[in-house]
């Protein structure tokens, strides 16, 4: 029988896997012999002989055919409800999505198949059934009933067929069972410790058993872990800290929750659960936070003393506290730089303040309810220039910029002098006004270009 190159690679992978397991067992036996001393050499030699016989590929596959009834391939596990649940787990072998617009297990390409076992003691052996090569998975050969990878190992084609027939039980929807104690029923089953829903159908009901999507959870887990801990993401974060460009995007998952399964015995749930350390990530499904729509500043006499102060009071308070801490400090470069940095942050927010009204319909300042002085109307509602020639004429003048800067300087001086501990006066007022007026002229040029 001709065997494909892919099947030959899988056959070699099986032999290599068995050899690695044998080497591990022999190392454990030799380590134990060292501890026991020379008097136990005969017993150790017998044990090593048993290990070599056990791990002959033919003997080892015979043993795996025996324990296969205790193992199941699964994409949806029942033990996530309770580690003591004894019902069926299901393995989705089709990758065809059953519903458009819904993301689920069937949406994932190259899905990772999970394993559940009757007894966690054989989970180490069960890993064999997730063996893979760059071109195929052993799982795919079992699904296709293709025993060709086993032929080079078996004594005959019939033995290879027998092994594959035994391995096919891993796809069964029956719950795992010990070979010596088969279960009575032949189909899928639920359990009293599993989640169950009785769904009425006619005069009877269907028993629905929701199962945890372990393979889908694994795909999410791997993506989240990659976005947090991969080398390229770490390099991108380092570049961001240094304010440098990096081609790797940084992805974050706000309000991510972690659900744990299995306690200290994660392997009792499934193989993938043990690999994840019992963790499953849950994305936030909370509704978005309500943000009130910004409305035109009507029925107030100043946005500088009103909305702007409320928005930036934290920064202004921080500047005042900084100045108080350094009242008696010498005027060194570091202190001046800290003061200037805090002032510039407030000025930047003041210059950007009109953007909050950008989505308000232009011309809102024409409303009789608008009580703002003309210079603040010109500052906040430049779109009105296209509707009102007289307003546009006033906008082209330079007077309103100085008046807005004057409002800002008076407001900042007044708030900094709260408590009478900080002595600010005309020199500081002039400084605030000059800085804001300069920025307003630049901002006017940009707005003028847009209009």
One domain, residues 133 and 18: yes
DSSP letter string, 22-64: HHHHHHHHHHHHHHH-GGGHHHHHHHHHHHHHHTSHHHHHHHH
Identify whether 299 is part of a domain: no
* φ/ψ of residue 74, rounded to 5: -155, 150
One domain, residues 54 and 140: yes
One domain, residues 336 and 237: no
User: Among 9-13, 68-72, 273-277, 292-296, which is the least confidently predicted range?
Assistant: 292-296
Q: Counting Cβ atoms within 10 Å, is residue 44 exposed (0-12), middle (13-18) or buried (19+)? A: middle
The pair of three-digit structure tokens given for residue 276, joined into one six-digit string: 């994840």
Residues 384-411: what's their mean pLDDT? Answer: 88
Q: Which of 249, 282, 315 is the last residue of a domain?
A: 282
DSSP letter string, 288-303: PPP-PPP----S-S-S
Are the C-beta atoms of residues 302 and 309 closer than 8 Å to each other? no
The percentage of residues in the chain with a pLDDT greater than 70, rounded to a whole number, is 90
pLDDT of residue 35: 64
CA distance to 24, 62, 106, 121, 258, per residue, from 52 (Å): 12, 15, 42, 21, 44
Residue 431 pLDDT level (bands cut at 50, 70, 90): confident
Identify whether 198 is part of a domain: no
User: Among 213-217, 369-373, 426-430, which is the least confidently predicted range?
Assistant: 426-430
Residue 183 pLDDT level (bands cut at 50, 70, 90): low
Q: Given a cut of 60, is residue 180 above it in pLDDT?
A: no
One domain, residues 226 and 328: no
One domain, residues 74 and 170: yes
Nearest one of 75, 79, 162, 168 to 117, comparing CA atoms: 79
Within 317-410, strands assigned E span: none
Nearest one of 71, 245, 91, 78 to 169, comparing CA atoms: 71
Tens of pLDDT, residues 25-76: 888 887 766 666 555 567 777 888 888 999 899 999 999 999 998 999 999 9
Identify whether 391 is part of a domain: yes
Total structural domains within the chain: 3
pLDDT of residue 259: 93
One domain, residues 274 and 316: no
CA-CA distance, 7 to 281, in Å (whole number)?
Answer: 36
Q: Which of 282, 312, 329 is the last residue of a domain?
A: 282
In DSSP terms, which residues pair with 280 in a beta bridge? 259
Q: Given a cut of 80, is residue 363 above it in pLDDT?
A: yes
Identify whether 293 is part of a domain: no
Are the C-beta atoms of residues 12 and 3 closer than 8 Å to each other? no
Identify whether 26 is part of a domain: yes
Are the C-beta atoms of residues 304 and 377 closer than 8 Å to each other? no
Identify whether 433 is part of a domain: yes
Residue 450 pLDDT level (bands cut at 50, 70, 90): very low
Task: Tell me which H or E stretch contains 234.
Answer: helix 231-241
One domain, residues 22 and 161: yes
CA-CA distance, 212 to 210, in Å (whole number)?
Answer: 7
Are the C-beta atoms of residues 86 and 183 closer than 8 Å to each other? no
Residues 327-343: what's their mean pLDDT? Answer: 82
The pair of three-digit structure tokens given for residue 188, joined into one six-digit string: 């899928």
Q: Given a cut of 60, is residue 302 above it in pLDDT?
A: yes
Are the C-beta atoms of residues 415 and 309 closer than 8 Å to each other? yes
Tell me how long the chain is.
451
One domain, residues 62 and 131: yes
The CB-based long-range contact list for 177-185 (8 Å cut-off, 24+ gap) reads: 177/69, 177/70, 177/118, 178/69, 178/70, 178/118, 178/119, 179/66, 179/67, 179/69, 179/70, 182/69
Residue 440 pLDDT level (bands cut at 50, 70, 90): confident
Show the domain range for 243: 215-282
Identify whether 190 is part of a domain: no
- pTM comes to 0.63
Tens of pLDDT, residues 80-115: 998 888 888 888 876 666 667 788 888 888 889 999
Are the C-beta atoms of residues 136 and 6 closer than 8 Å to each other? yes
One domain, residues 312 and 242: no
pLDDT of residue 38: 55
Tens of pLDDT, residues 268-284: 899 999 999 999 999 98
Q: Which of 195, 212, 229 is the last residue of a domain?
A: 212
Residue 446 pLDDT level (bands cut at 50, 70, 90): low
Provide the greatest CA pair distance for the chain. Answer: 110
State how far Cα 132 lies from the chain centre: 27
One domain, residues 418 and 314: yes
Mean confidence (pLDDT) of the chain = 85
User: Among 96-105, 347-356, 367-376, 393-402, which is the least confidently predicted range?
Assistant: 96-105
One domain, residues 179 and 48: yes
pLDDT of residue 119: 80
User: Among 158-162, 329-333, 382-386, which is the least confidently predicted range?
Assistant: 329-333
Q: Residue 345: how many CA atoms within 13 Å on its side-chain side? A: 15
Residues 335-356: what's their mean pLDDT? Answer: 87
pLDDT of residue 421: 64
One domain, residues 45 and 168: yes
Q: Given a cut of 60, is residue 449 above it in pLDDT?
A: no
Identify whether 382 is part of a domain: yes
């Amino acid at each position: 029988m001709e065997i494909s190159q892919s099947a030959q690679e899988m056959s070699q992978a099986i032999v290599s896997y068995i050899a690695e397991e044998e080497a591990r067992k022999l190392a454990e036996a030799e380590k134990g012999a060292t501890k026991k001393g020379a008097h136990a050499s005969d017993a150790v030699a017998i044990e090593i002989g048993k290990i070599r016989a056990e791990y002959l590929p033919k003997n080892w596959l015979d043993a795996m055919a025996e324990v296969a009834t205790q193992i199941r391939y699964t994409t949806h596990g029942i033990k996530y409800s309770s580690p003591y649940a004894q019902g069926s787990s299901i393995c989705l072998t089709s990758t065809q999505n059953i519903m458009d617009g819904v993301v689920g297990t069937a949406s994932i390409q190259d899905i990772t198949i999970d394993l559940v076992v009757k007894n966690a003691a054989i989970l180490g052996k069960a890993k064999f059934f997730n063996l893979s090569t760059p071109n195929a998975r052993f799982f795919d050969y079992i699904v296709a009933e293709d025993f060709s990878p086993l032929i080079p190992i078996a004594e005959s084609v019939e033995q290879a067929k027998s092994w594959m027939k035994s391995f096919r039980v891993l796809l069964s929807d029956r719950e795992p069972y010990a070979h010596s104690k088969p279960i009575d029923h032949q189909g899928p089953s639920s359990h009293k410790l599993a989640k169950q829903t009785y769904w009425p159908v006619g005069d009877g009901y269907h028993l629905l058993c929701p199962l945890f999507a372990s393979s889908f959870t694994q795909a999410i887990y791997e993506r989240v872990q990659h976005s947090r801990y991969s080398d390229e993401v770490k390099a991108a974060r380092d570049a961001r800290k240094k304010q440098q460009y990096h081609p790797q995007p940084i992805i974050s998952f706000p309000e991510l929750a972690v659900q744990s399964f299995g306690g200290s015995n994660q392997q009792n749930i499934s193989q993938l659960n043990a690999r994840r350390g019992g963790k499953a990530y849950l994305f936030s499904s909370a509704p978005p936070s309500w943000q009130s729509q910004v409305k035109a500043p009507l029925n107030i006499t100043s946005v500088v003393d009103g909305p702007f102060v409320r928005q930036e009071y934290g920064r202004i308070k921080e500047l005042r506290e900084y100045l108080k801490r350094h009242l008696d400090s010498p005027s060194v470069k570091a202190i001046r730089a800290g003061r200037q940095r805090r002032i510039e942050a407030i000025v930047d927010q003041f210059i950007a303040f009109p953007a909050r009204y950008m989505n308000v319909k232009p011309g809102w300042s024409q409303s009789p309810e608008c009580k703002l002085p003309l210079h603040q109307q010109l500052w906040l509602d430049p779109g009105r220039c296209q509707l009102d020639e007289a307003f546009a004429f006033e906008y082209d003048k330079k007077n309103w910029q100085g008046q807005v800067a004057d409002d800002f300087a008076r407001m900042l001086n007044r708030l900094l002098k709260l408590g009478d501990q900080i002595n600010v006066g005309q020199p500081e007022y002039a400084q605030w006004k000059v800085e804001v007026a300069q920025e307003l002229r630049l901002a006017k040029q940009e707005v003028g270009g847009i209009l």
